Chains A and B, each alone.
Chain A
């Protein structure tokens, strides 16, 4: 079900599956949470996080107001999708991760010390750092001289950097 939500938010769910998914989402709090989460991730990645806190609530209340239509065709499509869920799960996960990395790259190459960066990074706090930059840093810190900590502590920077500009 979760992968369907992901597909829906990506605009990749067949129209026939949409109604069924929405009615399920309305009934099950766990799916709503999942929806929330995915929507937030999407918004954070697009830098629209500020819109999203009440956006989701509004959308859900609008869905509540909509009449529920359960068409047999939709159920059939749903069953078909379920069979292929395992096949689709991995590519979707990969896509989500890929988008996250790209977005993080985008965030990280912003000029330093601007409020814009601070804001963007906070919004996307759950997004992993770019592997390439991490590998750059690790490779660099393998050589980095004396500035910080003894021994493996040179890698301290590599470790600390993974959280980006998040304040702790």
Chain B
């Protein structure tokens, strides 16, 4: 619904103002946003990051009762992620673990909190050429970062439906950080309910469940803030959640620049626990920076941004004594 409102708002905006190239491109992004929620589609895509290339299958249904999605990896150990409206369950059959979470309803881009102005302030947004992906025409939308705190993006969008067929994330040297591309997809039409049902749910009765769900709190209640923010990033959410199984609650702050997001987790370190290892690390395209505040708090910042960005944000965290 919000997506549709955006399309309307954006087309109004585009109608009133001079239809510049970047407004056209923004309108394309709004179309993608709406399409990702309203379309029925099912297909196979290839995801690549670093030296890893993986093929996965995805299906999405949107009807009167809501949105349903299922993603399963076809390479390596089986992993399945099922979403039923906001409920996300991540099945790891080999380890017999389920991780559950509550997704933010609006995810492309994080526009519920961010204005197109912010997006354009951080990226030069323009339309690229008309290309072809998975046998379909695909309009390129290019976002070039205006500084070194974020990566560049190119999206390939199917013009009729607005479905994103391919995306690519580039670092400042032009190297590919992450790439996704449908190799085969059917858009619209009937997608059987079975395709969005978990294959493991019935057998997962005795599996260990880790609940990552959180409760929204105000920044004041959280008692944690980032001073001297990262240029272009704004706070969009503060949640208190138990991230570690049986551990203490962590405060989860989310920052967005209109496209990229960084999460900052702040959690008390339990007495007598081994001191966590701190510093820089990376998992796939996600950069992680951990640091300690005194000996009491562990700060973990992570996001699909250059390493400098997560480091800066982690180092700006302050705890207010309550």
Residues of A within 8 A of B (CB): 105-106, 108-113, 128, 131-140, 142-168
Contact = CB atoms under 8 A, between A and B. Distances in A.
Contact of B304 (A105, A144, A162, A164): A144
B88 A108 contact: no
A134 B259 CA distance: 22
B243 A139 contact: yes
Closest 4 CB pairs of A and B: A112-B282, A152-B69, A140-B263, A150-B36
A160 to B, nearest CB: 5
Contacts, number: 207
Nearest to B284: A161
B26 interface: no
A157 B284 contact: yes
Contacts of A160: 47, 49, 52, 54, 73, 284
A137 B302 contact: yes
Contacts of A142: 88, 101-104, 212
11 contacts: A137-B283, A139-B263, A145-B258, A146-B110, A147-B259, A149-B47, A150-B32, A152-B69, A152-B83, A153-B58, A165-B50
A131 B245 contact: yes
A131 B167 contact: no
B212 A139 contact: yes
Nearest to A108: B281
Given A139-B241, A152-B69, A156-B71, A109 B281 contact: yes
A112 B177 CA distance: 13
Given A105-B277, A136-B263, A143 B108 contact: no
Nearest to B257: A145
A136 B92 CA distance: 16
Interface of B: 29, 32, 35-37, 45, 47, 49-54, 56, 58, 60, 67, 69-71, 73, 75-77, 79, 81-83, 88, 90, 92, 94-95, 97, 99, 101-104, 107-110, 151, 153, 155, 163-164, 167, 169, 178, 180, 210, 212, 214, 236-237, 241, 243-245, 247, 252, 254, 256, 258-261, 263, 265, 277-288, 290, 300, 302-304
A26 B256 CA distance: 61
A97 to B, nearest CB: 9
A135 B281 contact: no
Contact of A131 (B29, B35, B97): B97
A159 B178 contact: no
B83 A128 contact: no
A150 B110 contact: no
B259 A138 contact: no
Contact of A145 (B79, B81, B261): B261
B286 A155 contact: no
Which of the listed residues A105, A112, A139 has the most CB atoms from chain B within 10 Å of its own CB? A139
A147 B260 contact: yes
Which of the listed residues A136, A165, A166 has the most CB atoms from chain B within 10 Å of its own CB? A136
A121 to B, nearest CB: 11
Given A139-B241, A143-B110, A165-B50, A151 B77 contact: no
A154 B302 CA distance: 15
Which of the listed residues A128, A153, A155, A162 has the most CB atoms from chain B within 10 Å of its own CB? A153
A158 B80 CA distance: 10
B281 A143 contact: no
Contacts of B49: 157, 160
B252 A139 contact: yes
A152 B109 CA distance: 13
A32 to B, nearest CB: 25
Given A111-B281, A152-B70, 10 more contacts: A144-B303, A145-B259, A146-B107, A150-B164, A151-B107, A159-B56, A160-B47, A160-B284, A163-B76, A166-B52
Contact of A168 (B76, B167, B169): B76
